Structure 1
Amino acid sequence: MKKKKKISTERIISVCAVILFFAAWYLVTALELVDPKLIPTPKATWDSFVEVLTQGYKGHTLLQHLGTSMERLLKAFLLSVVTAVPLGLLSGFSSKIKAFVEPFIEFYRPLPPLAYYTLLTLALGIGNSSKIALLFLACFAPIYVACVSAVARIKEDYINAAYTVGATRMQVFWSVILPSCAAEIFVGLRTAIGVAYSTLVAAEMVAASSGIGWMVVDAGNWFRNDIIFVGIFVMGFTGLFIDWLLKFLEKKLVPWSGKD
């Protein structure tokens, strides 16, 4: 009962915080404490949202902009999952593989995306390939690091016990390593999707004509701060939904997460 009460209280606090944010936004704009050109009113933002939703922006509807971005994001994310997860687990399991791979990961991981985006466009062109590659690199490092860290946290007693009963290295990997790392892998996935979403604007800055990130950049060029706010809110709520979906999948696929 106490746990349910605590969760309910936290939800109330979260809702109140959101209400306070919108109330402060309304008061700041209603009292004209800032220039309306810099921060549009909630009503102006809502009107722009309806306009973009019904009439579109620069030849594409809001759903088309969002769909284009989601296609790029999800392709890059799925590609990073099927490559970074096994490579990260193998690197954590084998010091030799880690020694070979990790220098490259650690070299590019702290680099800002725009630092190597030009190289990607030169190599892959200005189409979707370079954008997906940029998002892939943004996703890859957090997932890889989370997987390596997860393997390092496994108690050696579990692995030794498996070897004691005659398990092979492959059996240890699938029956001990992977299940033990599953919860932390999902943490890496959630981190990666957040990093990739923040990179989306950079990915759509070059030679794009659609996408939610491109819409925000283009609106900034025309000082349409109302459209910028619309894009930010759409990206934020979409990011929340994706994060919720990953947490939902974690509960279904890793029911032992957080339990001793």
Structure 2
Amino acid sequence: MNKKNKPEKILTIGTILVILLIWFITTTLGMVDPKLVPSPQSVWAAFVDIMKSGYKNYTLMQHLGASMERLLIAFFCAALLAIPLGLASGYNSKIRGLFEPIIEFYRPLPPLAYYTLLILWLGIENESKITLLFLACFAPIYVSCVSAFIKIKEDYINNAYTVGASKFQMFIYVIFPACLPDIFIGLRTALGVAYTTLVSAEMVAAKSGIGWMVLDASRYLRSDIIFLGIIIMGITGILLDKSIQFIEQRIVPWKGKE
């Protein structure tokens, strides 16, 4: 398995190094305006400066911590509610008919379309921001759970009933394990959607957060800080996704195997 992944890792590292090299050459030779595309050196200098002095009265870790707090609270709350509700909707068409129209209505809406309403209802503090991220997470998890339940093969269920399984045993040993691969896909999708929504959540009346730092830096044309914030968001996003994949590999080791 490791031998199969080795060429992919080499290509990945090579791609990153090529991008960094092109970035370094173009900025060093003055091929682009430094106000638009800062050099790697200036981004690194901005990182060192923010690590020492912070940005707008908050350290870099406080900005990152504020964003992660909003994101993770919303993500875990959405998972705790959407997974059982999605599985129940897959099991019972009446439950699905009750909730699906609501979810399908708001799911394609841009977050900023209803963020104003959330601010009016919940205020400008973290409550409205977490609720926005919660809604962004909820729909992908719910849809993946419903889809996972519906496509379970009837043979699995019939075989379990044949050997005398109860409804509880059916859910624990057949239905839930069969749904787990799709549930994790929904979790990964939800986390990605929520992270892209995070900047929108921090646009209004926020004083901390990586998204807010990037938006605030854009007002002063601090492209070095903008690039730094984007890089940090990208790295943390990858780490969060890899964390879910790591858990998935431990809980669903049979995924992709017959």
- Output the TM-score relative to the length of structure 1: 0.96
User: Partners in 1 of 2:150 and 2:39 — Cα distance?
Assistant: 50
Name which of 229, 242, 250 aligns with 1:252.
250
1:54 Cα deviation from its structure 2 partner = 1.4
1:168 Cα deviation from its structure 2 partner = 3.4
Alignment of 1:20-59 (within 5 A): 20-59=18-57
Match of 1:89 in 2: 87
1:175 Cα deviation from its structure 2 partner = 2.1
User: Partners in 1 of 2:102 and 2:23 — Cα distance?
Assistant: 44
**SS of the residue 1:207 aligns to:** coil
Q: Give deviations 1:187-218, integer Å, cap 9, x for gaps.
A: 11111111101100000011110011110111
**Is the counterpart of residue 144 in structure 1 residue 122 in structure 2?**
no
User: Partners in 2 of 1:156 and 1:33 — Cα distance?
Assistant: 62
1:185 Cα deviation from its structure 2 partner = 0.8
Name which of 181, 184, 196 aligns with 1:183.
181
Name which of 212, 215, 219 aligns with 1:214.
212
Match of 1:100 in 2: 98
1:171 Cα deviation from its structure 2 partner = 2.9
User: Partners in 2 of 1:177 and 1:216 — Cα distance?
Assistant: 44
Q: Give deviations 1:119-173, integer Å, cap 9, x for gaps.
A: 0011111110000000000101111111111112211100122223333333322
User: Partners in 2 of 1:82 and 1:206 — Cα distance?
Assistant: 27
What is the total number of aligned residue pairs between the two structures?
Answer: 258
User: Partners in 2 of 1:165 and 1:90 — Cα distance?
Assistant: 24
Match of 1:19 in 2: 17
Match of 2:68 in 1: 70
Write the letter of the residue equivalent to 2:151: R
In the alignment, structure 1 segments of 5+ residues that lack a partner are none
Write the letter of the residue equivalent to 1:28: T
User: Partners in 2 of 1:255 and 1:90 — Cα distance?
Assistant: 25
User: Partners in 2 of 1:128 and 1:172 — Cα distance?
Assistant: 41
Match of 1:226 in 2: 224
> Which deviates further from its counterpart, 9-18 or 147-156?
147-156
In the alignment, structure 2 segments of 5+ residues that lack a partner are none
User: Partners in 1 of 2:204 and 2:163 — Cα distance?
Assistant: 56
Match of 1:157 in 2: 155
Write the letter of the residue equivalent to 1:27: I
User: Partners in 2 of 1:95 and 1:165 — Cα distance?
Assistant: 27
User: Partners in 2 of 1:5 and 1:255 — Cα distance?
Assistant: 19
Match of 1:204 in 2: 202
Match of 1:235 in 2: 233
1:19 Cα deviation from its structure 2 partner = 0.5
Q: Give deviations 1:67-94, integer Å, cap 9, x for gaps.
A: 0111110100000000011111111122
1:183 Cα deviation from its structure 2 partner = 1.4
User: Partners in 2 of 1:231 and 1:210 — Cα distance?
Assistant: 12
Write the letter of the residue equivalent to 1:11: K
What's the C-alpha RMSD, in Å, of the aligned pairs?
1.1
1:59 Cα deviation from its structure 2 partner = 0.2
**SS of the residue 1:243 aligns to:** helix
Q: Which runs of 4+ in 1 moved over 4 A?
A: none
User: Partners in 2 of 1:215 and 1:150 — Cα distance?
Assistant: 39
Identity of aligned residues (%): 59
User: Partners in 2 of 1:116 and 1:200 — Cα distance?
Assistant: 14
- Output the TM-score relative to the length of structure 2: 0.97
